[in-house]
Amino acid sequence: PNMCKQIVAFQAMMEFMSEQYPGAFGGYSLQITESHQSSKADTSGTAKKMVEYLNVLKGGSPITEEDIVKLRESDKQLAFGVPEGSLDGHAWHTYTLTSSDGSVIFEFKHNVCGRRTYAEGVVDAVSFLAAKIEEASEQKVFNMIDVLRAGQMQ
């Protein structure tokens, strides 16, 4: 699971939007490009989840995981804008919705260089769990949405 609080909040927002406004981008095409360090072999879980939400928003023919453009070669990552110093640890995603005539483009991005934001999310999650143990909370599996809803982030 993604431990970056801001990306988790962004995903939750897009999930809400897809539930409340299905087809709001009807007739739009969708392109997703994600770049991660070359050692990441699989498609980003965040990008896969965003495909679900954005497919609902755009309606029509869905795009699939295979349609996600995955950048793992340094020359392509640099051309995408990834700083050279972040090639060994980054997560850059761009989601582009384009109207059928090309006159309207919506673009959502989140670009992470390094791993600090994930570590901060882990610290908040551990603090959240410690508080749940201290208050003898019900035993259940919590997730980062629970951490966000608690609003006790550092």
Which residues are catalytically annotated? 36, 40
- In terms of Cα–Cα distance, which of 154, 151, 143, 148 is closest to 1? 143
Query: Rounded distance, CA 135 to CA 150, Å?
Result: 14
Residue 14 burial (CB count, 10 A): 19
Extract the tokens encoding 65: 């995981």
Q: Which residues contact 53 (CB under 8 A, 6 or more apart)?
A: 11, 14, 15, 17, 18
C-alpha separations of 13 from 2, 21, 33, 50, 130 in Å: 15, 12, 20, 11, 27
Q: E strand or H helix at 51, and its extent?
A: helix 45-58
